[in-house]
Amino acid sequence: MSACKNKCTVNKCQQIFGWVPVIFILLIVGWSYYAYVYSLCIVQVTSVVAKVFFLIFFHLFLSLFLWSYIKAIVVPPIQPPKQFHLTSSEWEAIHTTADKETNQNTVLGAIVAERNLPVYLSGPDGKIRVCNTCALIKPDRSHHCSTCGVCLLKMDHHCPWTNNCIGFHNHKYFIVFLSWGVIYCFFIICTSASYFADFWRYPDALSVDRFQVLFLFIVAAMFGLCQLGLSSYHMYLVGINLSTLETFHYPRLRGGQPDKTLFNLGIKENFRETFGSRFEMAVLPIFTTPGDGVNWRFRLDHSLQSANLESGSTNSPMLSTAKLS
């Protein structure tokens, strides 16, 4: 009983402290609003045209940044459909087999075939992937998040800055949030650079507002560079159609070898897999990711043709003849 209470207490503490990074980011953004709008635009910018230009684009980029950030935070993970969950009798059959190495996979293979599940990937051991916590057969590209305590479709990683898992449900929102964050920070840097220089050029005319602009420039540069690095890395992963977790263990077909190009459909199709086909919608935090997070297109090449597709599903995996770009 005490162990259960301790576990509940720990979970509650994790839930509370999980919001600390989010609150920190929102406080920084709130302060940046004051420093930019009041300390810079109202107090120091003398040109009316410059003030209007600065304020219009500042609010535009800030709105898009916050919209994307909030969507990445509040959209809940999409969990595997019910047909992937194992019944109590199936779970018992899997764990009471004498030869666990062989029979477990045989039982799982029979379940996959009976339910016609689109499961073509295996774990590092070559077996069908199962989540012992959620008691289900993992759909391709899905993983269990120990922080959230659930399995989610195409899990990328758990992000402390959003206090949420990044996966099929919000991967686009996360990347768009990073991208607009870069634009927001570098807009601040570019428009406050001359006033930042004035701080050092005229040391005798110091004021609280000039210090605000000084720190605004420095903080924007720090966050802008960090977000630029993260955004570039995740854009690279989108370009090769891999999740962050898949870079640690490349996906492998059942009976095949790890293959980092298994989902690589070419850079154009790879970006469509995350952002959709319409550019004007791709840059907005609106869900345009095609598919259902369960069925995935595979690259048709030598590694796929030579792999042993023993899914048992009556449907063949969706193959693409797209060439690498």
Catalytic residues: 159
Torsion of CA 49, 54, 55, 56, to 10 degrees: 90
Tell me the three-class secondary structure of 4-33, residue by residue.
HHHHHHHHHHHHHHCCHHHHHHHHHHHHHH
Q: What are phi and psi of 146, to 5 degrees?
A: -70, -25
CB 270 within 8 Å of CB 238: yes
Pairing verdict, β 136-137 and 130-131: antiparallel
Please say whether the dihedral angle defined by the alpha carbons of residues 130, 136, 142 and 143, taken in this order, is positive or negative.
negative
| Interatomic CA distance for residues 142 and 148, integer angstroms | 14
Helix axes 88-95, 100-115, angle to 10 degrees: 150
Name which of 82, 172, 131, 139 is nearest 313 in CA terms. 139
CB 224 within 8 Å of CB 61: no
| Interatomic CA distance for residues 209 and 204, integer angstroms | 14
